[in-house]
Structure formats: C-alpha cells, structure tokens
Amino acid sequence: MTAVAPPYDGLLLGAHLATLDDARPGGHVVEDGALAWKDGRLSYVGPRADLPGAPDTLAREVITTRGWVTPGLIDCHTHLVFAGNRAHEFDMRLNGASYEDIARAGGGIRASVAAVRHVDEDTLLQQSLPRARALLQDGVTTLEIKSGYGLDFANERKLLRVARQIGAQLGITVRTTYLAAHALPPEFRGNADGYIDAVIDWLPRLHAEGLVDAVDAFCERIAFSPAQTRRVFDAARALGVPVKLHADQLSDLGGAALVAEYDGLSADHVEYTGEAGVRAMAAHGTVAVLLPGAFHVLRETKLPPIALLREHGVPMAVATDCNPGTSPLLSLRQAMQLACTHFRLTPYEALVGATRHAAQALGLHDRGMLREGLRADLVVWDIDHPAELCYWMGGTFVRRLWIAGRPVPLTQESAACV
C-alpha cells in the first residue's frame, strides 16, 4: 500500500498568533494557535483545537514552541548598501556643526558617494552583508534596498547588483529601488537638469538587467525640484515601474501629493506633509512610510501629521531608513520603538506598520499577515505580549524564523555598521 503524504510540510504548535489580519473573524489574536504551511504558503492559521486531525498525521515536521508568532517583519525603506561610515559626522553635529557645515567640509551624501566609487563590488558586498544579517536576526524577512550612493551609471549598477546578491546569499527577499535622483554628483555641479537627463537615460538599461523594482527620488530644495521629479516619474511610468518618494522631509513642496498623483507606492518621511498631501495619499492608496530613526538622529522637532493620516485612513508603515549619515539603525524593532516614543503610534500600529503596511509600501500582496494562502514568513518571539516588541530597547527576542516555510539559522554574528 502506498503511504499517503501528510497535507502539510510544517506545523507549528504551542504559541499565540498575532495574525495582524483585521478581517479575521473574532480578531487578529489566536491564543494556543497552530500554523501549517505547504510549498512555502500558509495552509492553516487558527486555534490548535480546530486542527483537522492529529498533529503527527498532518505534517512532515511538527514544531512545538511557546511565545508569540507574527508575520516576518518587512523593512520597506533602507539605504543599506554603502561603503565606510560617517560616524565622524555624528561627532561634528554634536559639536555644533550644521548639515550645511558638514556638506561644505565634504561630508553628507557626497562622502558616501566617494566611498562607494572607491571600492569594488565584492568589497561593497562584504561591508553591507553584516547590516542585512543584523536585520534578519531581528526578524526581518523582506528588505528594500535603495541605490543613490553611486550617482553615475557604473556605481548605481554596482549598488543594485550588490543588493540582489544580498538577497541571494541570505535567502531573504530584497526589493531594489533606483534612487539615482538622490543628490547632485560633483561632475554635474550647476547642471541639475543635465543630471536628470542622465538618470533617465540609465533607468531603462538597469531595468533591462532586472535590477529595478521601483524608482525613488529626493524632492527637496537641497535636492531635486517637483518638476525634475516628475521627469523621473514619467520615465518610470513609461517602463511600468512603480514609484515612491522621499517627500516633505524638510519642507512641504507637495511631494506627497506628487507621488500620489502617480499612484505611488509610498511617500516617505512626510514630516511637513499638509492636509492636501494626506488627502491625495488617501485617494490613491499611497502609504506613508515613517522614518523615526532619522527624526531621532537629526533631533528633529516637526512631527509627521499622524492625526491627519489616521483621520483619512492612510496606511502608516515604519522602516529603519538604515543609512550611514542620518539613520545608522540596524533594528526594525528599535524603529518601531522610536515610532511609538516620538510619533505616539500604538504598539499595534507600529507592528502593523512593520508588516502589513510595509508590504503594501513595496507593492507586495503575498505577505505581511498570517493568513491562509500568504507566504509562510514567520517569526517566533520569546515574549509574553506583542507590545514587548516596541517596549524593549535592544535585546534579542527572535526564537525561530522561517522564510517561505524554510527555517533560517540564527547566529549572533557581529553586524557592526561598517
């Protein structure tokens, strides 16, 4: 007689489930829950008592644990691939230097551009991998990585290629974002429109290599104008590539409304976004990505319009903005904690912001919740209540981790931001 294969590849028992699925009858929490998966997708999410049979007959592997299970965290805004660091700028700021002072001294984005242009692809990968590992160890199973520290074709390509290699080496989903419109490189000084011409010329070539999942720009007085940003977005639209925007971080240039007009995935930072921008985001389904790490490091005082975002039903994601200058942050949990502390998000809003809403900010509809049919990206946390994920500052709480139903080994390797 031929043995009948069990219906599930894996079955997880003994923990409580924070499904983050508000459409779930009875609420998003399942106490004494069970999770099963098959071919990398969730097949059962519910009470252990309602399983359709004895556990040992249902799955090839049955895992008993405790604590809480959430979807894998999603870091939807990072500049994680860079060379060197800018710790000396942190010191300069604390000794009274302004952003402009640092820039005049050769610092800021230009310093990271020079460092990236100085190293080869393998060196860049080896310097960046520890940062990605740190996020993985902290429960991140999907990661966005932007370019923007190359500012010429070869080096923007190098950044995007390294981002793809990080995903392949760690088995983590990496979404790549083309951010050549990040700053004006020295060779285009005084010729911003000419540089935008180059950014637009490089885009289809990089997209043809499979290196571009989305297009971003920095729309600010110190970067690129709304008109220049529109040109970049028009080029992305012609290729069918979604857009997002560094919007309204330092002033309200209408960036949030601009990216919403293009049905953009997200408007990021949004500290200065006014009600018109919020209404536009709500009308077009554009996510507000909150970046409390940069707010914290720069000691900003202008808060994002949280009340307006809630009032108009704009989804709020939370991300690390991991970068060498303004947010050297290697923990999405810490970003959640900062979002609660500085922006007054509730722990539930912060957790949804680092899962379900972060998935939406990346245009991903197959993850971010524990729901049958979605990817089996799972974290088992050694906690007594989900609010602890935003309560503790630091610490290691990940007990087990799966990406698409595949267990991920957890190590305590150093992940210094070097």
Q: Residues annotated as binding site for 4-imidazolone-5-propanoate?
A: 86, 149, 182, 249, 326
Check residue 97 and report its DSSP letter: -
- Beta-sheet pairing, 16-18 with 41-47: unpaired
Check residue 48 and report its DSSP letter: G
| 44, containing H or E segment | strand 41-47
Q: Give the position of tokens 């040109």.
A: 231
Say which residues have a Cβ less than 8 Å from residue 239's Cβ, sequence separation at least 6.
203, 204, 207
SS3 of residue 20 by DSSP: coil
Annotate 185-237 with DSSP letters as a single string: -GGGTT-HHHHHHHHHHHHHHHHHTT--SEEEEEESTTSB-HHHHHHHHHHHH
Tell me the binding residues: 77, 79, 86, 149, 182, 246, 249, 321, 323, 325-326
- Beta-sheet pairing, 398-403 with 287-290: unpaired
* Dist. CA 349–CA 149, nearest whole Å: 32
Q: Give the position of tokens 């994920």.
A: 389
Give the angle subtended at the CA of 366 by the CAs of 362 and 368, to the nearest 5°: 70
Tell me the binding residues for Zn(2+): 77, 79, 246, 321
* Dist. CA 61–CA 175, nearest whole Å: 31
Say which residues have a Cβ less than 8 Å from residue 299's Cβ, sequence separation at least 6.
none
Alpha-helical regions (H) of 247-346: 255-261, 275-284, 292-297, 306-311, 332-343
Give the angle subtended at the CA of 180 by the CAs of 280 and 94, to the nearest 5°: 85
**Spatial contact of 357 and 364, defined as CB atoms under 8 Å apart:** no
Q: What distance separates the 2 farthest-apart alpha carbons in the chain? A: 79
Tell me the binding residues for Fe(3+): 77, 79, 246, 321
* Dist. CA 394–CA 221, nearest whole Å: 36
SS3 of residue 258 by DSSP: helix
Tell me the binding residues for N-formimidoyl-L-glutamate: 149, 323, 325
Q: Give the position of tokens 């997002």.
A: 244
Question: 188 — alpha (psi -120 to 50), left (phi > 0) or beta?
Answer: alpha
Identify the CA nearest to 270 among candidates 228, 227, 215, 220.
Answer: 220
